[in-house]
């Protein structure tokens, strides 16, 4: 599917070009899901807060994407774990 190729190309880019493409993808997905960009950002923040309550994640590197390749749409979460200090 063309959207799938588009997403893969987006994830392989770097710099400001990647940021611009990510913003465009966010607008496209929010339109297809019927959510405003503000609602999508609020949803991302809620998801991150919920995960952080239960798992030690590296919140600076969490990536939450909304993918609308299939019906229904999917939420893809990449949340690297922080290493816990070992108890003595």
Q: What is the DSSP secondary-structure string of the chain?
A: -HHHHHHHHHHH--HHHHHHHHHHHHHHHHHHHT--HHHHHHHHHHHHHHHHHHS-B-GGG-EEEEE-SSSS-EEEEE-PBPPPPPP-
What per-residue confidence (pLDDT) applies to 46?
A: 93
Backbone angles phi, psi at 25, to 5 degrees: -60, -40
| Mean pLDDT confidence for 2-27 | 65
- Cβ(64)–Cβ(77) under 8 Å? yes
- Tell me how far the alpha carbon of residue 33 is from its chain's centroid: 14
Residue in 19, 70, 78, 68 with CA at minimum distance from that of residue 47: 78
Confidence class for position 49, pLDDT limits 50, 70, 90: very high
Confidence class for position 74, pLDDT limits 50, 70, 90: confident
């Amino acid at each position: 599917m063309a959207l799938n190729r588009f997403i893969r190309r987006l994830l392989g880019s770097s710099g400001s070009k990647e940021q611009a493409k990510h913003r465009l993808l966010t607008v496209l997905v929010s339109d297809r899901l019927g959510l405003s960009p503000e609602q999508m950002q609020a949803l991302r923040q809620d998801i991150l807060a919920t995960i952080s309550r239960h798992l030690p994640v590296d919140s600076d590197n969490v990536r939450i994407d909304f993918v609308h390749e299939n019906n229904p749409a999917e939420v893809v979460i990449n949340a690297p774990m922080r290493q816990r200090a070992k108890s003595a």
